[in-house]
A and B are shown apart, each in its own frame.
Chain A
Amino acid sequence: MRDVIVIGGGPAGLAAAISARDNGAKSVLVIERDTCVGGILNQCIHNGFGLHRFKEELSGPEYASRFAGNLENIEVLTDTMVLEVTTDRVVRAVSREQGYMELKAKAIVLAMGCRERTRGAISIPGDRPAGVYTAGAAQRYLNIEGYMVGKNAVILGSGDIGLIMARRMTLEGAKVHACVELMPYSGGLTRNIVQCLNDFDIPLYLSHTITRIHGKNRVEGVTIAKVGPDRKPIAGTEFDIECDTVLLSVGLIPENELTRGAGIPIDRRTNGAYVYENMETLSEGIFACGNVVHVHDLVDYVSAESERAGAAAAKYALGEKASGKVITVENGEGVSYTVPQYIRPDNCDKKADLFFRVRNVYSNKCITVKNGEKTVASFKREHLAPGEMEHIIIPVSLMGDAEKLTVSVEEAE
């Protein structure tokens, strides 16, 4: 029986494992399905990681190495796939070396990350040729394997990975004809619009979508159309672009098959497990952190969240269980989700961190936290956008007798 088993050796899993060890867990095991730890960071060779945490701009592999280099006294099984997790904290896994394993833990941390939405998820009509990839798949081919998926690309979705790939492919000699975004605003960070699209004169079509993919065997082109406020294509606005590649950067989905398999309740809003203030899921002793809980925009925040999860898992493994009353955090006007969804004030160290996303682009608004009609806390924000995760800190002293707290976007006074 181990103290803590962490499932996933990406940025979340590594930070959680290190934190569990540093908080007193004696035996910590990380299970990673790839042949090395680091997760998706290994293929994210661009810079921009670690500004918050390390006050410097690192590439993905460098950021990962800061954690991968700090795994003393942590057992790591790579090239190992977890097949099943149970709520009585049994992990079933397989690997070439160890065969079929059944491992027990006092606490489990789920850190499986997320996956990209695919063509099917958005039902792009047309032919089904080769040449349609998620941006991350193309990134792996290019940055790890050293192969270009094509020479003439159109990118659907302006998520960060898509923007980063627009620049990357351009630098490697491909022509990126356009980045097409369904929404009237970009899904990625503004800095990436500047340095990945504008720097290379790649047009960004907001409120547009791909309505058809052409090409029987390999992509030969796409039809693009403007969309109305209902996000439906407007007839008559179509135009074609010839290309051999379509990259999709249309969102990420937390990878919760193991969580679901265990029967741990999942929040439909985040597509991740419901969690308490310490990242414990609704199944006692099973914690979750990083993109498997909710999709983050910055790895720095993943690390911070995962450290909280790891520390809490260690605490649990050492016999200290969280208890006390539970406050439900509800989404008010303009808020699409919050993490955590539940706060146990007795288990907080004076404050609770709350992360959330807003539904729309807003300027000069106020984030309010209310207990019924009573405003408990409010935070001014000059700029809010769905693509940027928000963070507020609520002191426990302000929670009072609340049964639930509602977070909303309101007009600034």
Chain B
Amino acid sequence: MYDVIIIGGGVIGTAAAYELTKYDLRVALFEKENDIATGTTKANSAIIHAGYDPVPGSLTARLNVRGNELAHEICKKLDVPFKETGSVVCAFGEEDDQTVKKLYDRGIQNGVPGLRILNKEEICALEPNISEEATSALYAPTAGVISPWEYALAFAETAVVNGLELHLNEKVTDIKENTVITEKGEYEAKYIVAAAGVNCAEIEGKVREPDYVLKANKGEYFLLDKSAFGIVNTVVFQCPNKNGKGVLVSPTVHGNIIVGPNAEGSSDKTDVSTTAQGLDFVRSAAYKSVPSLNLSANIRNFAGMRANTNNEDFIIRFVSPYFLSLAGIKSPGLASAPAIAEYVCELLKEAGLKMDKKQSFTDSRKVIRFKELSPEEKSEIIKKDPAYGRVICRCETITEGEINATFKTPIPPVSIDGVKRRCNAGMGRCQGGFCAPRVLDIIHKHTGIPKEKILKDKEGSYVLSGGAL
């Protein structure tokens, strides 16, 4: 009997696992894919929002602001790439100016620190490449950019270190009262916490008919080469208006520029393909904020699915005595993740779960990032382990030592993208063209998986499907 079973290994499920393993509880997490963070968590804008956007008084507003605060601490503790870049919401005209004012007021009510409305000169000083058409902007200094998958991995790895039982590749097929039934077995728990992202309605539906309607919504993006870095310094949003929420242009924590998303309702929540129309929309919308944006520096397009529902707010509540459903966790879900996790603990405690803090909880994690080391440190680490002297991913300067290290983490990778999510190998401008064969070799060495069986990402994504000669 588990105390808590979490369904879903995205940033919400893993944040909940991290929080729950602080207590003397037996916790398991079930994820249908072969790795953490393979759904919406790996395909979004990667923003830790400040919290001026949600309606005051809503659950989302509270959790966003609290989540932002927690992100600052947690990223330090767990060595997650995070940068407090600040954000601006740009207005282009009078109607937008009103929106900026409205967002400012909301932000104040939501308790967002440091908000300021910038005039044209101030915008130019902060963001010299923003369009001259900009009339005003809301500046939020606490907004930031993060590596979302590393955030989730940090939560999950720390949770595993602290006793989480992680079940990857194990899809939940049914739920009967307090029993979770998977492809591989049946597991009883005092409580079940569902953090199934875009599959929230499907999972909740195993308990009862959901009282909300899932309206999965796809967003497409461009990721630009590092040569484009510096075009904007903060997360540059547009004002939401009758034509949509607008697209953002933002630095990423890895030194790229991200541009997107559009918003397209989707009948197939598994369809994260990009489309010519979607990308065209993003392209032209982005030029509105940053006319000199060089989209030909694109290194990757991707799309992610939002778990939108007919309810603007997050939908977090018990739907049976055992089943706590976290539904409709769309943006700012990433920013809210650790606050949602705290809230989950509160709700479980209220429901009667005995929650005593563990005697010892490991609340730290350290990742060696070779390129960030000083010359002396580089020298030192290569002396200790010569593998740090061999650069495997030339675009991102990722060494064999760093890749080897991923296999010693609590959740070792099983695919080329798994390695990428853990140490950035293959994330650069050549998109693994150079390093993928070498990474494949290293995976083979560590796991013994025959090369033709090694995956790019999910099950079935064989890299060398033509086999050995």
Chains A and B come from one and the same complex: yes
Residues of A within 8 A of B (CB): 33, 79, 81, 83, 92, 94-100, 102, 115-116, 118-121, 123, 125-131, 133-134, 136-137, 140-142, 144-151, 172, 174, 211-212, 216-218, 233, 244-245, 257, 260
The 4 closest A-B pairs by CB, nearest first: A148-B466, A130-B456, A217-B460, A81-B391
Contact (Cβ within 8 A) A126 B274: yes
Contact (Cβ within 8 A) B466 A150: yes
Which residues of the other chain, A, contact B182 by a CB distance below 8 angstroms?
none
Contact (Cβ within 8 A) B464 A79: no
Which residues of the other chain, A, contact B460 by a CB distance below 8 angstroms?
216-218
CA A12 – CA B433 in complex, angstroms? 21
Which residues of the other chain, B, contact A119 by a CB distance below 8 angstroms?
300, 431
In the complex, besides A96-B389, A137-B437, A145-B437, 17 extra interface pairs with C-beta distance below 8 angstroms are: A33-B391, A94-B399, A96-B386, A100-B382, A100-B389, A125-B279, A126-B273, A126-B275, A128-B274, A129-B461, A130-B456, A147-B452, A147-B466, A172-B469, A212-B276, A218-B465, A245-B465
CA A137 – CA B436 in complex, angstroms? 8
Contact (Cβ within 8 A) A120 B389: no
Report B432 CB to chain A, min CB distance, Å: 8
Which residues of the other chain, B, contact A127 by a CB distance below 8 angstroms?
272-273
Interface size on B, residues (CB 8 A): 58
CA A244 – CA B464 in complex, angstroms? 10
Interface status of B379 (Cβ within 8 A of chain A): yes
CA A122 – CA B270 in complex, angstroms? 24
Contact (Cβ within 8 A) A120 B301: yes
24 contacts between A and B (CB under 8 A): A83-B391, A83-B397, A92-B375, A94-B391, A97-B386, A98-B389, A99-B378, A100-B389, A102-B375, A115-B429, A115-B430, A120-B299, A121-B299, A123-B279, A125-B274, A130-B462, A134-B433, A141-B437, A141-B464, A147-B451, A147-B452, A147-B468, A212-B276, A216-B460
Which residues of the other chain, A, contact B394 by a CB distance below 8 angstroms?
33, 81
Chain B positions 409 through 451: 1 when the CB is less than 8 Å from some CB of chain A, otherwise 0: 0000000000000000000011111101100000000000001
Q: Given A121-B299, A217-B461, check contact A147 B431 (CB 8 Å).
A: no
Name the residue in B274, B383, B389, B429 with the highest tally of chain A Cβ atoms < 10 Å from its Cβ. Answer: B389
CA A218 – CA B461 in complex, angstroms? 5
Contact (Cβ within 8 A) A233 B382: no
Interface status of B57 (Cβ within 8 A of chain A): no
Interface status of B157 (Cβ within 8 A of chain A): no
Q: Given A81-B394, A137-B437, check contact A146 B430 (CB 8 Å).
A: no
Which residues of the other chain, A, contact B244 by a CB distance below 8 angstroms?
none
Interface status of B458 (Cβ within 8 A of chain A): yes
Chain B positions 379 through 412: 1 when the CB is less than 8 Å from some CB of chain A, otherwise 0: 1001100111111001101010000000000000
CA A96 – CA B381 in complex, angstroms? 11
CA A233 – CA B279 in complex, angstroms? 15
In the complex formed, the residue of B with least CB distance to A172 is B469
Contact (Cβ within 8 A) A136 B433: yes
Contact (Cβ within 8 A) B469 A147: yes
In the complex formed, the residue of A with least CB distance to B227 is A260
Which residues of the other chain, A, contact B375 by a CB distance below 8 angstroms?
92, 100, 102
Interface status of B248 (Cβ within 8 A of chain A): no
Which residues of the other chain, B, contact A120 by a CB distance below 8 angstroms?
223, 298-301, 431
Interface status of B352 (Cβ within 8 A of chain A): no
Contact (Cβ within 8 A) A94 B382: yes
Interface status of B459 (Cβ within 8 A of chain A): yes
Contact (Cβ within 8 A) B431 A94: no
Which residues of the other chain, A, contact B430 by a CB distance below 8 angstroms?
115-116, 118
CA A71 – CA B379 in complex, angstroms? 29
